């Protein structure tokens, strides 16, 4: 599903204009980005939690050349699915 698909779904289900639906989706993602930049987590009840995790610097190796190198420390976003959504997904496998 793409951002455009989300806009179309809001347009069809809620009845807002496409422009309004697009503005809402853009505002939502901008707010999420800003929250991540500030180092905060986002918890969406019944869906899951997005966390910022700090990865330390580590030794690595270029697989093409075999050269050793240092991988810089960085922040990554992880997602943990809620138990409610996990149960719904498990129903699909049954």
For 43-69, what is each residue's pLDDT tens digit?
Answer: 999 999 999 999 999 999 999 999 999
CA distances from 30 to 2, 27, 84 (A): 16, 5, 26
CA distance 27 to 75: 23
- Domain extent listing, the chain: 1-40, 42-94
Residue 94 has pLDDT above 70, yes or no: no
Secondary-structure class of domain 1-40 per CATH: few secondary structures
In this chain, the answer to whether the domains covering 1-40 and 42-94 adopt an identical fold is: yes
Q: What is the pTM of this model?
A: 0.78
Q: Decide: 48 and 79 in contact? Cβ < 8 Å.
A: yes
**What is the average pLDDT score of the chain?**
94
Strand, coil or helix: 82:
coil
CATH architecture of 42-94: Irregular (4.10)
Taking only the tens place, the pLDDT of each residue in 37-47 is 999 999 999 99
Q: Which pLDDT value is given to residue 18?
A: 93
- For position 64, what pLDDT does the model report? 93
Burial class (CB in 10 A: 0-12, 13-18, 19+), 65: exposed
């Amino acid at each position: 599903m793409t951002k455009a698909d989300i806009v179309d779904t809001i347009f069809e289900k809620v009845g807002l204009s496409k422009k309004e639906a697009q503005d809402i989706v853009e505002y939502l993602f901008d707010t999420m980005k800003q929250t991540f930049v500030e180092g905060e987590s986002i918890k969406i009840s019944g869906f899951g939690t997005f966390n910022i995790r700090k990865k330390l610097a580590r030794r690595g190796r270029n697989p093409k050349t075999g050269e050793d190198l240092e991988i810089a420390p960085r922040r990554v976003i992880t997602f943990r699915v809620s138990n409610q959504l996990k149960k719904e997904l498990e129903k699909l496998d049954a």
